[in-house]
Amino acid sequence: MSKGVKEKQIGALIRLVVNAGQAKPAPPVGPALGQHRLNLMAFCKDFNARTQNIKPEVPMSVTVIAYKDNTFDFTIKSPSTSYFLKKAAGIQLGASRAAHETAGVVTVKHIYEIAKIKQSDPDCQYMSLEAICKSIMGTARSIGIEVRRTLD
């Protein structure tokens, strides 16, 4: 931290889930950010521009750091693991009684692909690919998705 850079005071931390390319000033984004007096339009435009390379309607998790001087920074993380698993298994909802009933099936190849996407997430950088795979399999177990070697 150079002496010339003034440290900004953090006002609030806001976690949002927004569909890629579809940030609008309407609720829920609007009130969530608007109450911290942030420039909504700038956030929407910025977020939409940065998620252009992602299919629309994919829910992205965003963390916005609002500073006290009404500026903000945000980081976009990859969508949630459960979303990927549900897409891979082709189901809409997870099992209502996980571990008692199976809602869908994925193969280990799906897990590997999901792990590769997750590896670029800032939170997962320190984990080995194998560790990420194990954590994805744990999530799969918790929403009732079975993991098999191949789909027959």
Name the amino acid, one letter, at 71. Answer: T
Taking the complex as a whole, how short is the minimal distance between the CB of residue 20 and another protein, in angstroms?
10
DSSP label of 130:
H
For another protein, give the closer residue by CB, 14 or 133.
14
Contact map string, positions 86 to 125, toward another protein, x by CB under 8 A: ----------------------------------------
CA dist 104 → 24, 64, 113, 125 (Å): 33, 34, 17, 29
- Rounded Cα distance between 93 and 103, Å, is 8
**Cα four-point dihedral sign 44, 50, 54, 60:** negative
For another protein, give the closer residue by CB, 20 or 124.
20
Binders of another protein among residues 20 to 79 (CB under 8 A) are 21, 25-28, 30-32, 34, 37, 39-42, 44-45, 48-50, 52, 70
